[in-house]
Structure formats: structure tokens, C-alpha cells
Chains A and B, each alone.
Chain A
Amino acid sequence: SQQGEEDPQALSIQEGENATMNCSYKTSINNLQWYRQNSGRGLVHLILIRSNEREKHSGRLRVTLDTSKKSSSLLITASRAADTASYFCATDESGGTSYGKLTFGQGTILTVHP
């Protein structure tokens, strides 16, 4: 079963607006990662937040992590048409033989209109 559940499934905004995507998960994690996938392409790593971190920034990206609620959010500020893609959260689960395995959510499809 999927570890991450993403919300919303689809998001449509105008260029310049901010986009927020949410991810919830079920088990303890080492870290949580966000990936982008352009149509017909492979996934590209965007940002990683460790379980002991609460917020992280990278350019126009801001990620938060609330381990008590087992949830994360990805904020893209001042969106551009080029940000149109699917966005996936992925969790690296804690402990033992599961170390290093990523479990992905179903993704949020973001459309940014020029």
C-alpha cells in the first residue's frame, strides 16, 4: 500500500500565484523527499527534509514537516508555467532492512497557466 497520500490530486493556478501541496504518511521515517515529474519523463529530486527538521528552503521551494501529524507540505512561490508537472512525496522509512527504500505517494498534478 502507498505510504504517502497527497492532496490535492490536481491543482490549477495562474502564473505568479503560490502552489501548496500536502502529503501525509503512516509510519516513522528517516526523511521525506519531494520529486517533480514532467510529462513522459523521469523523476527529478527537488528537496529532502530529515525527520529532525521542521522546515527547509530551496530557491522558490519551501517544505515543512510535522512528524507529530505525519504530514508535510510543499510550497512553490511565484509559480511559472515551467512548474507545470506532477509532484510526488516519498518517504524513507526508519529502521532495519527497510533502510534506503522510498515509498511514493500518488502525486499532485500541478498546472500553471500563463
Chain B
Amino acid sequence: NAGVTQTPKFQVLKTGQSMTLQCAQDMNHEYMSWYRQDPGMGLRLIHYSVGAGITDQGEVPNGYNVSRSTTEDFPLRLLSAAPSQTSVYFCASSYLRTLENYGYTFGSGTRLTVV
């Protein structure tokens, strides 16, 4: 099925561990992004990419790395997990030209707990 696939759905990490959250889309979207959602904070942009080989920082990039080697995949790496990174993480993608009336397609999220 077409869409945005995030794995894993749930993860528990110990402080200091590293891990990669996976995001893949099969819609040939140029734009991909990572958001975190915390209670009362809405969604905040971590990193985004407008195409393969191009990434940029969002509002809250510290502690996270990204790369975009292919159009389809946009993994998010936590370098050294901290309790403050406990959150729900969403990947979203879109055609870059949003004037075509396409909204963003979101994955179902990864619920991360850092203990």
C-alpha cells in the first residue's frame, strides 16, 4: 500500500543508547520531514529534506542526525538518547510543490521512551 511507513512503532531505550528510526515512502515525494509530538507542545520540526542528498535543520535538531541517500528513505538517528527525547515521532512527506493541493502524508508514528 502506498504511504509512509515508520518502524518501529514502539521503542524503549536506556539513556546513552543510540538508535535509528526508519521512514520510507513510495510516492516519489521530494519532501520528507521528521516531527516530534509532545503533550501540550503540538508538533515540532526536527529535520527535513527537499530531495536526495539535501537535508536541513528544523526547530529542534539537537541530538538528532538525518541523511537522505535515496528519495524513498529518510532515517532519523538518535546519537545518545536522553530522557528529554521521550516523545512520539512522526515522519511526513509531500510533493515539494504543495500548490498542487496535496497535503502532507504522515506515518503512523514511533512512540519512544528513554529511561
Given A48-B98, A100-B31 in contact, is the A41-B50 Cβ separation under 8 Å?
no
Interface size on A, residues (CB 8 A): 28
B residues near A102, Cβ cutoff 8 Å: 33, 45, 92, 104
Chain B interface, number of residues (Cβ within 8 angstroms): 29
Pick from A2, A4, A31, A44: contact of B106, CB below 8 A: A44
- Asked if A101 and B58 make an inter-chain contact with CB atoms under 8 angstroms apart, the answer reads yes
Contact of B45 among A41, A45, A46, A101 (CB under 8 A): A101
Contact A100 B50 (CB under 8 A): yes
How many angstroms from the CA of A41 to the CA of B20 in the assembled complex? 21
Q: Which one of B31, B90, B101 lies within 8 Å of A43 (CB-CB)? A: B90
Residue A70 is within 8 A (CB to CB) of chain B in the complex = no
Q: Which residues of A contact B103 (CB under 8 A)?
A: 33, 35, 45-48
* B40 and A100 within 8 A (CB): no
Q: Which A residues between 81 and 114 are near B, CB-CB below 8 angstroms? A: 88, 90, 92, 97, 99-107
Q: How far is the CA of A35 from the CA of B107 in the complex (A)?
A: 13
A106 to B40, CA, bound (A): 6
Instruction: Determine the residue in chain B with the shortest Cβ distance to A51.
Output: B99
Complex contact A33–B104 (CB within 8 A):
yes
- A101 near B33 with CB under 8 A, answer yes
Within the complex, what minimum Cβ distance (angstroms) separates B1 from chain A? 14
- Contact call B94/A100, Cβ cutoff below 8 A: yes
Render B37-75 as a binary contact track against A, CB cut-off 8 A, 1 for contact: 000111111001010000010110000000000000000
Contact of A2 with B42 in the complex, beta carbons under 8 Å = yes
Given contacts A42-B107, A44-B106, A45-B104, contact A105 B42 (CB under 8 A): yes
- Chain A proximity of B6: nearest CB distance (Å): 8
